[in-house]
Structure 1
Amino acid sequence: MNSDRTITIGRSLIQHGKSSDRVYLMKAADEDMPGLLNELERLAGQEDYGKIFAKAPARWGREFAAAGYRVEAEVPGFYQGRESGLFLGKYFKEERAEMAAGEEIAAVLNLCAQKETATPAPAQSPGEDYLVRLCTPADCEAMAELYRRVFPSYPFPIHDPEFLGRTMAEQVCYVGAWRQGRPAALASAEFSATASHAEMTDFATAPEDRGRRLAARLLTGLEEEMAAREIKLAYTIARALSPGMNLAFARAGYRHAGTLVNNTQICGRIESMNVWHKPLASQG
C-alpha cells in the first residue's frame, strides 16, 4: 500500500507524493516564510503534482494570495484559540481545480445544515457488547488489520502497526470500540500542544458493525481526552461525499468551514473534503 512521504523543509513539515498527487504543507514555521512558498512550488513542479494544499496562520494570508493560492476553508481560533487557520489550495492542472459531484456535495451539506445549528446531540451508547477505550501499543496489530479492511489505500500508512505505535508514542491519541477482543471501530486525534488544536481523523468501522453510531461515540471520547489535555479546538477533514461522517460532526456541534477541492486520495480516488471545527471545553 502506497502512502505519500513526509519531509521537512527548514522547520516546516510537508507531505507529498503521487498517491494524493499533491504537496501538503502540514505545518508552516514562521522562520521559513515567505521563502517556503517558492520551495513548495519548486517541489510541485519537479514532481508534476496537480495541487499544493497548505494549512497556515491567517497572518500569512496575503503572501499566499500573492503566490496564487485561494482560501478553501477558514477555521477561527485554529492557533491557540486566538488566530484563524487558513486551508489553502493552489492548482497546476485545470481539471484538478474543478470540483466533481458538486450537487451531491451540496446535498450532503444541506442535510448537515439541519443538524449543525441544533443543540449538539449526545452520542448514543453503542450497546453493552462494545467497550470504548483508549488504544495501547499492544493493540497496534489488530488496529492495522481493521484499517487494511476498511481502507484499501490511505494518505498515511495506518495499515502499518509500526506507524501506529510510533505516532501513538508522539502526538496521536487513538480510541477504539472493542467487541469480543477485537476493534470494531477506530478513530484518532492528532494534536498539537503548541497550536492547541486536534484533528479528529482515521475513522474506520468494520462492515459488520456499521449502523451503531460508533463513530459518534468515539468522537465524544476523543473530545473528552483532548479537553483533558487542554486542547482548545477540534477539527476534521471529512470526505465530502460521505453523509454519515459529515452528519456525525454536524450532530456533535461542529461547524462547516469550507470544502477542499479534489484534495485527498482515499480508497483509490482523489476526493473533495469538508472541513469542520468546534471549540472544546478547555476553550473556557
Structure 2
Amino acid sequence: MTKHDRLETLPCGSLVQHGQYNDRVYLMKATDAAAAKLPKRLIGLAQNQGYGKIFAKIPLRMGKEFETSGFLQEARVPGFFNGSEDALFMAYYLDDLRAKESESVNYENIMKLAKAKRNSGIATAKGAGFSFRRCQESDVSAMAKIYQKVFASYPFPIHESDYLLETMRDAVDYFCAEKEGVMVALASAEKYQQDSNWEMTDFATLPKWRGHSLGVRLLDLMENEAVRQNVKTVYTIARAASAGMNITFARLGYHFGGRLKNNTNISGQIESMNVWYKSPEK
C-alpha cells in the first residue's frame, strides 16, 4: 500500500502535511503564533527532508513575511477567511525543475475552453435517469472502489474506506450520483466552518458514465447545501490538465484564482492545479 504524506502540527500550532509522496511541504493551516519565523521553519523542514516544493495557504496578513523569505504567490482567493480576508497560495521551490511546466501551452488552451463556458450552467438535456444524494457511512466501501478505479494516485488516501469513514465523521460531506441504485460518481465538500469556506473536491466519475454532466450536478448540489449553511466562500483545487473539471467550475460561475505549478501527486504523477472560487450566494 502506498504510504501517503503525514500530517504534523508544528510547535507554533500550524498544521502541515509533508512527505515524499507529493514531494512537498503543504502548510494547510497557519497560526499567528511565531508567524514571522514560520517561512524559515518550513524551508528548514523541506531542506532537511529533501523536498522539491513548499505550498503554503496563508491569510493575506502573513504575505509580507513569506515574500521576504522568497515565497511566490501562485493563486489568491478573495474573502477566503470568513468572507473578510483573502487567502494567498504561496510557493517556494527548492528544485528549480519543479517550477517549470512542460504542459503550460495545454493548460492555457484548457483555460480558454473553460472561460468560454463560464456561467453556461447545467445542460438540461443531460443527467436524465440519475439520482443524487449525500453519502452515508454504509457507502464507504463502494466509494473507495470508485476512487480506486478513477485515480492511479491521489494526494490523500481516498482509496481507503477507513479514511473515507474517518473524514465523513469529521468535517467532510460526500455526495454521489447513482444509476438504478448503483453508485457511479462522487464528490465531496471539505467544510472549514471556522473560516466559513468549503473546498469542493474529490470528484470522480466512472469512465462508462462520463459525458452526463454528473460532476456539475454534484457541484450544484453541494453549492445549494453551502448556501443553506450560510458559507461565504467555496473553492476548488482542480487538475490543470483536466478540461472537464475546469469547465465544470467555470459553468457554475467560479472565478479563476491562479495555477499551482507541479503541486500535487494525482492520477499517477505530479501535476499542476488550478484554483477556482466563488461566493455561493452570488
Same fold judged by TM-score > 0.5? yes
1:12-64 superposed Cα distances (whole Å, 9 cap, x missing partner)? 11111111110000111112412222221121011100000010000111001
- Whether the 8 Å contact between 2:72 and 2:92 is mirrored in structure 1 is yes
Match of 1:193 in 2: 193
What aligned pairs does 1:146-225 form with structure 2 within 5 A after superposition? 146-225=146-225
Please say which of residues 184-193 and 24-33 is displaced more in the overlay: 24-33
Match of 1:90 in 2: 92
- Whether the 8 Å contact between 2:262 and 2:272 is mirrored in structure 1 is yes
1:55 and 1:210 mapped to 2: Cα distance?
Answer: 32
Match of 1:126 in 2: 127
Match of 1:15 in 2: 17
Measured after TM superposition, the shift of residue 122 of structure 1 is 3.4
**SS at structure 2 position matched to 1:89:** strand
- State whether structure 2 residue 36 is matched by structure 1 residue 34: yes
- Whether the 8 Å contact between 2:115 and 2:247 is mirrored in structure 1 is no
1:42 and 1:267 mapped to 2: Cα distance?
Answer: 29
1:221 and 1:200 mapped to 2: Cα distance?
Answer: 11
Match of 2:253 in 1: 253
1:230 and 1:245 mapped to 2: Cα distance?
Answer: 25
1:35 and 1:171 mapped to 2: Cα distance?
Answer: 30
**SS at structure 2 position matched to 1:177:** strand
**SS at structure 2 position matched to 1:231:** coil
**SS at structure 2 position matched to 1:31:** coil
1:75 and 1:120 mapped to 2: Cα distance?
Answer: 22
Match of 1:46 in 2: 48
Match of 1:113 in 2: 115
Number of aligned residue pairs: give it: 279
- Whether the 8 Å contact between 1:12 and 1:32 is mirrored in structure 2 is no
2:204 and 2:87 mapped to 1: Cα distance?
Answer: 27
Q: CA RMSD in A?
A: 1.3
- Whether the 8 Å contact between 1:11 and 1:32 is mirrored in structure 2 is no
TM-score, length-scaled by structure 1: 0.95
Percent sequence identity over aligned pairs = 46
Match of 1:63 in 2: 65
Q: Which runs of 4+ in 1 moved over 4 A?
A: none
Match of 1:142 in 2: 142
2:263 and 2:191 mapped to 1: Cα distance?
Answer: 21
Specify every segment of 5 or more residues in structure 1 that has no aligned partner in the other structure, as ranges: none
Measured after TM superposition, the shift of residue 180 of structure 1 is 3.1
TM-aligned CA distance change 1:127 to 1:32, over 3 Å: farther
1:96 and 1:241 mapped to 2: Cα distance?
Answer: 16
